[in-house]
Amino acid sequence: MNERYDLHFYFDPVCPFAWMTSKWVRIVAKQREYSVDWRFISLRILNENIDYDAHFPAEYEAGHTAGLRLLRVAARVRQQHGRSAVGSLYAAVGTRLFDTPRDERLSVSDQGARHLLEPILRDVGLPVEVADALDDTSFDAVIRAETEEALALTGRDVGTPILHFKPPDGAAFFGPVISRLPAEDDAVELWDHVIALTGFPGFAEIKRSLRERPQLAAFGVDVESVGVQEDWHGGSRRLKK
């Protein structure tokens, strides 16, 4: 990979906060003509040594596994169709998972199901055969390596997304995590404040674990509402640290 990017964005496709930040980044990228490389970080791999039943709410393991399955497909798409195709696929998957109102609840395991993915692939002009990668564990080594790459930049007590600013020499951080999408007129100004912080060599962290449920259709929270606050730890709603 010889192309230089303004930003490396490490995402797990089932993380709603990564999705919200990605929408903000796309607004900024369009206005600033940023180039973004969409990279992989797997919450399932990140938490592989955690006892899910003891430490997480029900269905977290199934949700993280669905994310890994979708990342396998993204890895195959990148391999066969180039890096730019990953951004298009992520945009379509995130729209389906989070920005589409649901008449019926989408189960966490369905997030990584072929019947959900195939129409998305058709919509973005990709062959449905790439969905075979959902169960292809040969892609896990690439996903693991990229997960470790992200964690080497930030440390391990993080979640998603991880953003690497002005790579390869710029700083990287977990977040920024937002629950509300800034308006287009405000997005760049807010982003500039983030860039200013990341540009200070001694800056390490601003943090609170209370988060509003994000303003996403899948959560039933519209832009006129404020989601209920929940306490998160290490990028997830762990029951135990």
What is the predicted pLDDT for the residue at 56?
86
Report yes or no on 144 lying in a domain. yes
What is the predicted pLDDT for the residue at 3?
82
Report yes or no on 22 lying in a domain. yes
Report yes or no on 71 lying in a domain. yes
DSSP code string of 114-166: HHHHHHHHHHTT--GGGGGGGG-GGGHHHHHHHHHHHHHHH-SS--S-EEEES
| Total domains in the fold of the chain | 1
Report yes or no on 238 lying in a domain. no
CATH code at 93? 3.40.30.10
Task: Tell me the pLDDT of the chain averaged across its residues.
Answer: 92
What is the predicted pLDDT for the residue at 5?
96
Q: What is the pTM of this model?
A: 0.93
Report yes or no on 40 lying in a domain. yes
pLDDT over 90 (residue 227): no
pLDDT digit string, tens, across residues 116-154? 999 999 999 999 999 999 999 999 999 999 999 999 999
Q: Rounded to an integer, what distance in angstroms lies between the CA atom of residue 95 and that of residue 33? A: 22
pLDDT over 90 (residue 171): yes
What is the predicted pLDDT for the residue at 226?
85
Q: Rounded to an integer, what distance in angstroms lies between the CA atom of residue 47 and that of residue 60? A: 11
Handedness of CA 90, 92, 95, 96 (dihedral sign): negative
Cβ proximity of 188 and 28 under 8 Å? yes
Q: How confident is the model at residue 230 (pLDDT cuts 50, 70, 90)?
A: confident
Length of the chain equals 241
pLDDT digit string, tens, across residues 82-106? 999 999 999 999 999 999 887 666 7
Report yes or no on 229 lying in a domain. no
Report yes or no on 51 lying in a domain. yes
Domain that holds residue 181: 7-205
pLDDT over 70 (residue 240): no
Report yes or no on 215 lying in a domain. no
pLDDT digit string, tens, across residues 10-64? 999 999 999 999 999 999 999 999 999 999 999 999 999 989 988 888 888 999 9
Q: Which 8-state DSSP code applies to residue 36? A: E
What is the predicted pLDDT for the residue at 233?
63
